[in-house]
Structure 1
Amino acid sequence: MPRLTDPDPASFPDDVREFLTTLPPDPMVRMLSHSAGTVKPFVQLAAAQFSSLELPARSRELVILTVAEYTESSFVTAQHVPMARAAGVDERTRALIGARRLDDPGLSPYDRALLRFTAEVVQRPRVSDELLREVLRHLSERELVEVLQVAGYYWSFARVSTVLDVEVTKVYDEPVLNRD
């Protein structure tokens, strides 16, 4: 059961209320709308992470699943397993993330570097120079910053879901996130 009640939509500014009507009814969106001034940009940032990154969709989903695992967010996991599957993340890789076996030799060097880097980012304020060099062997500087942005976004999203006990909801297709 959620720890906060749904906010009253009548209290939202007109532009926020109108924006929210373009989205599917969803407990997470309702929870986020407690902050009427940030809900629209927060949802728009999610959309940008599906439409404006150089980072490939598969890599984005690896980052999100790793954040979900290390933040213990069943909400984010449930939402992104189907998206990860669609982006090409196979069951074995998803299971290794869930088991926190990020150094498994069955993972490609790219996946190992990306997963280890993401887990470190979630758990600590800094990563070692060695790990940074390793991940930069596989990612451009732009992609590295995008990984940090995706990890930070989903860390925040995960914390809203875990701290406020937001119910796991229907998984939506990517086009829903692309609304302006």
Structure 2
Amino acid sequence: MPRLTDPNTASFPDEVRDFLTSLPPDPMVKMLSHSTGTVKPFIELAKAQFTALQLSARSRELVILTVAEYTDSTFVAAQHNPMSQAAGVDERTRQLIRSRQLDDAELSPHDGALLRFTADIVQQPHIADDVFDTARVFLSERELVEVLQVIGYYWTFGRISTVLDVEVTKIYGDEPILDTPDNGTAG
């Protein structure tokens, strides 16, 4: 059961209420809407991560699954397991992430570098030069910054889901989400 009650949408500014009614019903959006001043930009940032990154969808989903694992966010993992499959992440790779076997030889050098980079960032404020340098072999400077932004977003998302006990009521699969200004959810 969520720790916060659903907010009273009647008290929302018109712009926020109109924006929220354009979205599908979602328990995370309800929790986010307690902060009426940040809910719209937060959701718009999610949309940008699905429409404006140079980082591939597959790499983005690898990052998100790793953040979900290391933040213990069942909500984020449940939302992104089907999305990652649609983006080309196979079950074995998802299993290696869930078991935190990020050095497994089955992972491609690219995937291993990306997963270690992500896990290290989630766990500590500074990472070793060798972890950064290995990630840099596979990622452009823009992609490195985008990975950091995805990590930060989903770390926050994960903490909102775990601290506020947000329940998963809809699992998003490979249907198009967050692809237009008036369609999408926060996840």
Provide TM-score, normalisation by structure 1.
Answer: 0.98
Match of 1:175 in 2: 176
**Superposed structure 1 runs of 4+ greater than 4 Å apart:** none
Deviations 1:33-66 (A, max 9, x none): 0000000000000000000000000000000000
Match of 2:58 in 1: 58
Deviations 1:111-151 (A, max 9, x none): 00000000000000011111111000000000000000000
Check conservation: 1:75, 1:169, Cα contact below 8 A: no
Unaligned runs of 5+ in 1: none
Match of 2:143 in 1: 143
Length, aligned pairs only = 180
Check conservation: 1:120, 1:127, Cα contact below 8 A: yes
Q: 1:36 corresponds to which letter in structure 2?
A: T
DSSP-derived class of the 2:138 partner? coil
Check conservation: 1:64, 1:151, Cα contact below 8 A: yes
2: CA distance, partners of 1:178 / 1:46: 10
1: CA distance, partners of 2:130 / 2:175: 35
Percent identity over the alignment is 71
Equivalent positions of 1:102-117 (< 5 A) are 102-117=102-117
1: CA distance, partners of 2:56 / 2:29: 26
Equivalent positions of 1:146-165 (< 5 A) are 146-165=146-165
Match of 2:68 in 1: 68
DSSP-derived class of the 2:176 partner? helix
Change (3 A) 1:148 1:174: farther
Match of 1:131 in 2: 131
Query: CA offset at residue 177 of structure 1?
Result: 1.7
Match of 1:89 in 2: 89
Deviations 1:6-27 (A, max 9, x none): 0000111100000000101111
Looking at secondary structure, tell me which structure has more helix per residue: 1
2: CA distance, partners of 1:178 / 1:111: 25
2: CA distance, partners of 1:83 / 1:22: 22
Unaligned runs of 5+ in 2: 182-187
Deviations 1:46-87 (A, max 9, x none): 000000000000000000000000000000000000000000
Provide TM-score, normalisation by structure 2.
Answer: 0.94
Check conservation: 1:2, 1:164, Cα contact below 8 A: yes
Task: Please provide the CA RMSD for this pair.
Answer: 0.9
